[in-house]
Every structure is written in structure tokens, then in C-alpha cells.
Amino acid sequence: MKAATVAIAIYRVSRSRSTSTQKTNSSPDLNLRAYPKYATEHRSYRIWPDYLFEVFKGSVAITLIVTGTTVYLIGLVIAWPYEFMMHYVLTPAIYIGLAGILLVIGACHWGSRRVHPDYEQLRPVFTVDDDTYYRILNKWFRRFSSRKPMIVCSLIFFVVGFGGLTLAYGTSARTRKRFYLEPLRPILFGRFWYIHKFEDVGFSIILVYLILISITLGTGCWLLVANMVFLSKLRRLPVIPMPTIVRARLRRMADLYVGTSFAWSLGVALFGVLFYKDYNLLSGVFLAALFVIGVLMFSLPQAICRSYIIRSHERLCTMGLAELYKDLGMSLYERTQTTPAISGRVADNLADLYSMTDRPKTLVYDVQNVVLWVGSEVLAFVAILPHGVLTDLLHVLRV
């Protein structure tokens, strides 16, 4: 009898909880499953590196190993009829080129997958409806995955690289020395790549690597620039008047650019190794330009995210100011009415109002973290430059 009573009690409690949950979920004020309305899926906006990883069911290690091996064997096949295989195998620049190709392919795939959940968790920051936010995401993500801008960017890299390759093989030693073009023949390739007997095979192999590098760099460059422009354009949307929450939500987005900047820095280091012992003022300026781009990859998103936080704080201050005037029994009319409609009070008293509208942290990362990151980038850049180039650069700055 007691057992039956306990069983009935347990059944009634579980039934009551189930009914309560159903009522809660059906409430118009609480819709926990609203996210499918604005969430985007990676499979609908794939780029070409994504298909490589799908072949091997998402295994990063296997995909990169097979891709690198395939590229390496293509060069080996080209070298075989010319009896150039030994020189090809013993050339350090080939392995640096392979590392760069795989690095960019992996970074593009990582960013392509990462961007969708990042923008999904950023959605509550904006006071717009789900359909509007989804339309904005869908429009821009289709641009991200568009092949045309990737092809254009790749062609730009290829034209620049092909011009350098032509100068490397089509100019005399005297001309290269006169116009500071020696870095176009990096010492890590070795002299056999440029002697008359192996000119054709050397040019052909480097051309193949140039095509692949141009495609990967063009893809990565387009994704980076387009995503940064998109993040900037989202500033037009109204943000919630809670700067601390906005800062917390932007942290994941900022992490995406930190990872991208780190991958770029590794690429700059590879260029530095490739030009080792072939530095001059021109190559030093080239590496410095690449370094500046890497810093901008980190700092520009920080500036954009900072504007989000400032706008959120300004909106909170506007709400607080309107409520203060209301408590004072006065009317506040401004030329631009930006005060959002609120149903309750912002704060219970003046002290709480002052605390809530106090200036928040406007950088997604703390200042010491930013200084530490930029400092490490500068040291890494200086470390790959030989003493002679540093002396020339300091001399130019002094002049």
C-alpha cells in the first residue's frame, strides 16, 4: 500500500513538472529555440578547402598530409625527366613552400567553420529581429563563399609572383645587383635551379608552386578582408545597452582574428627563412609590410569591437539620463532622440545609476595583453632579420 502511494506521488510530481515545462516553453516571452531562425550552417557556405577536408571525413592531419604529399609528388614528377629529382629533394625552399600552402589551407578551413558559431553567439548583442539578422548573415556569407572574388585575389597574387619569377630567370646578375633583385633568387633554392641546364625544369616547378600559393593566399586574403568589412558594417545595427555583455560576446569574435593573425605571423616567419642571407633593404621593407599587415589583422578588429562597446555604453547613458530627468520631474528633449523604449526602471536609485553608467573597459582584450602580443610580434620580426639589414633600416630611419 505504501509502495503504491509513493508511486502515485512520484507520478503526480513528474506530471506536474512536465506540464509546467510545457507551459513555460509555450510562453511568448520565452522562446529558447529561437536560434534556428538566425543560425547559419557551414555546409551551406563552403569554400574549396572545406571539400578537401570532407574527403577524409574532417581529419585535419590526414587531409594536410595527403595534400602536401600530392603537391610534393607533382614537383617530383616534373623533375624526373630532367634528372633533377635529387636537387628537388634536397632543396629547403620546397619544404618551406609546402608548409606555407598547408598552413593557409588549414587556416582557411578553420576560419570557414569558426565564423558561423561566432556570429550566431553575437546575435543577442543586436536589438533586431531574427529574420533581419539571418538575411544579413545569409547575404554576406554568400559573398564570403563566392568564387569570383577569390579568383580575382588569386590572380593579383599570381601576377605579382609571376613578375618576380620572370625577373629572377630573365635578368642578368649585373641587373639584379643594380636594382636590388637578388632576393628573387633565394639562396635556399641553390644555384642548380638557375643554371642553363636546369632553367626550364626549375622555372616549371616554381611556377606550379606559385600557382598553388597564389590560390591559397588569394582565398585567405579575401576571407579575411570580407569578414573584417562585414564586422564593420554590422556596427549600423542597434546594440543592447549593456556594454559588459557586449564586450563578453565580442571576445569569441576577437579570438578568431587573433588566430588568423598568428597564422599570418607564421607565414611571415617562413618568408623570413626563405630570404635568409639574401636580405637587402628591399626585402627588409617587404617583410616589414607583411608584419604591418599581421598587426592590422589584430588591431583593426579590436578597434571595430571597441566601437560596439562604446555605442552600447552611450545608449545606456542615454537611458540613464532620460530616467534621471524623469525623476527630477523635468522634460528632456534632444535634437536626436536615441532613447530606447523601456518598460521598467534602469536603476532603483542615483547611486546604482551612477555605477551602471560608469565607463566600461572598451577593449575586448586587456591593455597588457595587447602590448604583450604586439611586443612579441615585433621581437619575432626583428629576430629573423640579420644585423646588416637592421643597420640599414636604422640608418634610413635616422636620415
Of 381, 229, 365, 394, whose CA–CA distance to 295 is shortest? 381
Q: Are 125 and 308 in contact (CB under 8 A)?
A: yes
Mean pLDDT in residue range 126-153: 91
> Does residue 20 fall inside a structural domain?
no
In this model, does residue 102 exceed pLDDT 50? yes
> Does residue 205 fall inside a structural domain?
yes
The Cβ-side half-sphere exposure at 286, using a 13 Å CA radius, reads 18
Cell numbers found for residue 75: 614537383
Residue that is last in its domain, among 238, 261, 278: 238
Enumerate helices (H) and strands (E) in the chain, giving the number of each: 14, 0
Q: What tens digit of pLDDT does each residue of 67-97 get?
A: 999 999 999 999 999 999 999 999 999 999 9
304 shares its domain with 197: no
Neighbours of 269 (CB within 10 A): 17
Cell numbers found for residue 11: 507520478
251 shares its domain with 160: no
pLDDT at site 267: 79
In this model, does residue 336 exceed pLDDT 60? no
In this model, does residue 152 exceed pLDDT 80? yes
214 shares its domain with 296: no
173 shares its domain with 265: no
- pLDDT band, very low/low/confident/very high, at 66 (cuts 50, 70, 90): very high
Residue 55: give the domain boundaries.
Answer: 37-238
Cα 40 to Cα 48: distance, rounded to the nearest angstrom: 18
Highest mean pLDDT among 12-21, 36-45, 59-68, 271-280: 59-68
List own/partner pairs for 320-327 with CB under 8 A and 24 or more apart. Answer: 320/346, 320/347, 320/353, 320/356, 320/357, 323/347, 323/353, 324/350, 324/353
- pTM across the whole model: 0.77
**Would you tell me the crossing angle of helices 48-55 and 92-122 to the nearest 10 degrees?**
100
pLDDT > 90: percent of the chain:
27
- pLDDT band, very low/low/confident/very high, at 51 (cuts 50, 70, 90): very high
| Distances in whole angstroms, Cα of residue 113 to Cα of each of 109, 243, 267 | 6, 27, 21
Least confident of 147-161, 204-218, 308-322: 308-322
pLDDT at site 74: 96
Number of domains in the chain: 2
